[in-house]
Structures are given as C-alpha cells and as structure tokens.
Amino acid sequence: MQRPRRLDRLWTVVLFAAIALTVGCTAKQPSLAGPGNIATPTTESATPTPQVTDTPEPDYSVNQPPDPVPLPRDPIEYARALGGTSHKGRTLYFVIGASVASEREAQSLLDNSDPLFGDMQSYMIVQQSQHFEGMKPGYWVVLEAYMEYPTEESLQFCRRAFPGAYVKRATVLTSDPIPVYEEIVK
C-alpha cells in the first residue's frame, strides 16, 4: 500500500523541525541536566561571556600586612660612603639638626630629610652625643661636621630640613668615620 504524498511531506517537515530544534538547543546553550537541575532555555546576549582563568583573583578584603618599612641605613657605612674618616681627638664645629632619645628616631629623621635638601648633597649623619666632648651625653644626634665655623649659607642649608639647627663646638672621642664638609668639598 502506498502512502499519500501529503503525509510524507508532513513527516519530512516534522523531522527537519525536530532535527533543527535539537541541533539549535545543544549548540547554543550548555546542558543544565544533573541531579536537581531543570534545563531552562536562555536567550543569548550580545555581551561575550568572560573567560575563566585558573588563577584566583587576590582577596583584598582580608587584612594584608602593611608595605614593609625600609630599614634605616647603617650610620657608620653611610658616613664612610660620604667620605668620612676618623677625626678622633680633633675639635670640630657641628651643625646639630636634631637630638633625640633613640637611634631609630634619629635615623628616621635623617632619612626623611633627604627630599628637603633638593638636588644638593647633605653631609649630615647620625652619631651618639657621648662620642663628643662638649655635647650632653645620652642622645642620638643628627649632625654635620665642619673644620671652621659654618657659613650662614651652610647653616641655612641645614635648616631646610631641620629648622632649629644650631652650631656646637666639640672634640671627637670616637674613631667612627665622620664626613667633614671642608675635606669633602675641596
């Protein structure tokens, strides 16, 4: 028995529609099938889907340690690097920028003063006051050494960073390197 042609066409259309629907659904959306999931159709948007990477983004909401504080420079090595040598037994003039209770505070003051001198070189260093006869012991001092009484220009230069800077004459009791302005700027 031969089927009518009209029915063959209907089955062909239904078959093509079923194939098109199946291919379209599987190509455009991922399967949501799984325990407890119900697949629901979604519409595609013009916005591309972001790429997923294996590297997780850092969590900035947790307490992170602060940036490391730079260690103060070693006062002896710094004085030597500036051209300092031993002046034990010599009497010099010192521009005292600061006198404080701790080495760390004195070094911090010196380190933070660098930008205040601009593009000019400062020869200020950190020393203990008991290393000098004529200074009150028990302090850490930020100072700059001179053979002769410093000029007003030199004193004003030191006051860029240390507004209360003053001059003190003292004899060196240590063999630590001390840069002396006139020996360096010949």
Residue 78: its pLDDT value, please?
Answer: 85
Q: Assess if residue 65 is contained within a domain.
A: no
Domain that holds residue 151: 75-184
Q: Assess if residue 155 is contained within a domain.
A: yes
Report, as an integer, the average pLDDT of 104-110. Answer: 92
Is pTM beyond 0.85? Reply is no
Averaged pLDDT score across all residues of the chain: 77
Higher pLDDT, 81 or 138: 138
C-beta neighbour count of 91 within 10 angstroms: 13
Q: Assess if residue 38 is contained within a domain.
A: no
Q: Assess if residue 14 is contained within a domain.
A: no
Q: Assess if residue 62 is contained within a domain.
A: no
Residue 125: its pLDDT value, please?
Answer: 93
**42-54: pLDDT as tens digits:** 555 555 555 555 5
Q: Assess if residue 87 is contained within a domain.
A: yes
Report, as an integer, the average pLDDT of 29-40. Answer: 50
What's phi and psi for 96, nearest 5 deg? -95, 115
Total domains in the fold of the chain: 1
Annotate 71-129 with three-state secondary structure.
Answer: CCCCHHHHHHHCCCECCCCCEEEEEEEEEECCHHHHHHHHHHHHHHHCCCCCCCEEEEH
Distance (Å) of CA 89 to CA 132, 142, 172, 174, 178: 9, 20, 5, 8, 12
Q: Assess if residue 177 is contained within a domain.
A: yes
Please determine, for residue 169, whether its predicted confidence score (pLDDT) is greater than 60. Answer: yes
Residue 150: its pLDDT value, please?
Answer: 96
Residue 95: its pLDDT value, please?
Answer: 96
Higher pLDDT, 91 or 22: 91
74-83, 89-98, 127-136: range with lowest mean pLDDT: 74-83
Q: Assess if residue 34 is contained within a domain.
A: no
Q: pLDDT band at residue 178, thresholds of 50, 70 and 90?
A: very high
